Structure 1
């Protein structure tokens, strides 16, 4: 029995600000956590990209992954490390790779969630080949797009069936706009989805393990203003419902870190987009909400590293489908789904762990976000994203939003 060092790897793409903050707060926490007779310390490293043997040892206990969704070299290294080295990763790479929006809509429809009416349409154009020409000539039916639009009703949205980041998303109000959007869609396979309109609330629910952050969202605003500043103003009932939906979706697809978009209309919450297993993590998007992300990442990664949480390699959907087949109300089914989700994320054990070993995280994080290192992390991200003449103004803008968060949190810190 003695000291054990657990190494947490950061597998990064264009991420700049959050890794700096994560690394520095871990350093300031000076963690030495007793576990099963040992004292666990922590080291944080950035994962490099290089040739490797499939039998190569993996030194990481946990990897926070930001590349699996698009960079194949890192994805395949992570798959190898999970299978051969028992690595724990946020998120399961097979689930990220295979579960596009089409699958998620179908699965949640089967669970009884009120997914808006959604159609898939063949792509407007193709990469031509002899085999494809024969297939299309023999089996592709001509269709009237306007008739599809009339069956669905307007307004609607056209969006790629497997896309993200609002790329290729178009709001459509009439037959002419539908045809024009389809003409511009190129080789993408597209969804048409009925709009939830008018809606009362647009909420982005960010889930990280059993932790959920509900953020009012304005997609019409510039990128730096889409996440509305401040805590949720929803009722306790609505907040509880959205938290349950989020952890149900994330546990169903084996996503530790994912965001779910939901719209409310006449008392019903409609999940509209929830295959986002690499959510916004930059201060330039999250601003006031950014410190929550850092703390949630630290809590979940430390918990997984210390307890040696095991990866679930494949989904187990049948327990959810058994509930779906019951003759019960949606509310009753959601309660049962949520029980499965809480068990998957070990919520009770996680909360006890955080209370015992990470009680000082709030104070350390609050102090850090008043530091020069935190402001420089913001400046580095802004410099990478904005033109030179806007760097100082936007650095100050995001810095002041973080300081507003600190003022909002100060009373809570003092009461603990």
Structure 2
């Protein structure tokens, strides 16, 4: 019997529907439940083959619990090590490298100094910053938002330099990023599960929260089909690079080009009251299917978490190749054990002088 757990907080519709569906399709070989924790001892496996994480971004205790579980072989969705390291500004930087359209973006230091730092801690930061360049590059109006985090918290629309400085003064120790406004013709929010299951949802971020999914595509016909294919492919590309198995990507479409606006949502909204019945049914069905697949593929005492191609290639090189000069442990051992071969003495030859 393989055991699947889901770790969650205030959610009341998705977790229970997920558990019920896993138990239906698990065919007696995979069982799901709400994760139960009564102690967390270092290096102990508490028996879950898969855990769906919906809350550790808000509870550091849970994040440490999940890292221990991952070390013991649990397939944690999403990978708690990468999730701890990831943030929105890096996502944008990676997207530029991948060729995924994103809004022009710059990073801003926090208005207030972090605790236990002084002015001397920031000797590498020039004052004033090159504000004129940044304002010319981004333009106004623009959006200012935290470089990490989500939930539409501390997001500001700024109309001018003066407006930006006033609102930046409210952000305290948050590191912010300034991003160009994409005046969009159409907007989509996209579920991506297991880096293969994709569900594209028309979305209107300007509506009241409970009505954001109550919309439809503005683009029709062949143009719509082409756009859906592009959004599908960009979604897969981003999630494979980042290594997320449960994520949403938001695209704002301007002049037919989908710009990735937000794609660091590893615990995305899945509540029936906001996403609607059709989208809810899709996310329950496919997340349950993914959990069962991960449980059946589980390898005992192995690393069963997903790692993105960005990290994989940083360590091993593209397509599984190793950086030049590096050897595996077995290759290194053979080199050490190999007997030295005597070199033949060669008479020195007269060399022509070279010019420097």
Q: What's the TM-score, normalizing by structure 1?
A: 0.68
Match for residue 158 of structure 1?
A: 144
Structure with higher helix content = 1
With 108-117 and 42-51 compared, the bigger mean Cα shift is at: 42-51
- The yes-or-no answer on 1:64 pairing with 2:52 is yes
- The yes-or-no answer on 1:241 pairing with 2:230 is yes
1:264 to 253, 275, 294: 253
Change (3 A) 1:118 1:91: same
Change (3 A) 1:146 1:175: farther
Match for residue 307 of structure 1?
A: 297
Deviation string 1:69-120 (CA, Å, 9 cap, x unpaired) is: 2322221222112222x11121111111101011111111111222221111
Match for residue 278 of structure 1?
A: 267
2:8 to 6, 12, 19: 12
Q: What does 1:91-240 align with in structure 2 at a 5 Å threshold?
A: 91-127=78-114, 129=116, 131-136=117-122, 139-143=125-129, 145=131, 148-197=134-183, 199-209=184-194, 210-229=196-215, 235-240=224-229
Change (3 A) 1:48 1:176: same
RMSD of aligned C-alpha atoms?
2.6
Q: CA shift at 1:180, angstroms?
A: 2.2
Match for residue 363 of structure 1?
A: none
Larger-gyration structure (1/2): 2
Change (3 A) 1:50 1:140: farther
Give the whole-Å Cα distance in 1 for the aligned partners of 2:132 and 2:255.
29
Structure 2 residue runs without a partner (length 5+):
320-356
Give the whole-Å Cα distance in 2 for the aligned partners of 1:44 and 1:97.
25
1:75 to 52, 56, 63: 63
Give the whole-Å Cα distance in 1 for the aligned partners of 2:74 and 2:245.
14
SS of 1:60's equivalent?
coil
Give the whole-Å Cα distance in 2 for the aligned partners of 1:63 and 1:227.
28
Change (3 A) 1:30 1:259: closer
Native 8 Å contact 2:203 2:215 kept in 1: no
Change (3 A) 1:139 1:256: closer
Deviation string 1:208-250 (CA, Å, 9 cap, x unpaired) is: 1111111111112111111235689662221111111112111
Give the whole-Å Cα distance in 2 for the aligned partners of 1:188 and 1:146.
22
Match for residue 33 of structure 2?
A: 45
Native 8 Å contact 1:261 1:271 kept in 2: yes
Give the whole-Å Cα distance in 1 for the aligned partners of 2:296 and 2:133.
57
Q: Which has the higher contact order (CA 8 A, sep 6+)?
A: 2
Structure 1 residue runs without a partner (length 5+):
33-39, 326-335, 337-416
Change (3 A) 1:53 1:185: closer
Give the whole-Å Cα distance in 2 for the aligned partners of 1:211 and 1:230.
21
Change (3 A) 1:225 1:54: same
Deviation string 1:27-67 (CA, Å, 9 cap, x unpaired) is: 4x3643xxxxxxx5232221123322223233222111112
Native 8 Å contact 1:170 1:181 kept in 2: yes
Give the whole-Å Cα distance in 1 for the aligned partners of 2:56 and 2:5.
14
Q: What's the TM-score, normalizing by structure 2?
A: 0.79
Give the whole-Å Cα distance in 2 for the aligned partners of 1:65 and 1:231.
31
Match for residue 290 of structure 1?
A: 280
Match for residue 243 of structure 2?
A: 254
Q: What does 1:393-404 align with in structure 2 at a 5 Å threshold?
A: none
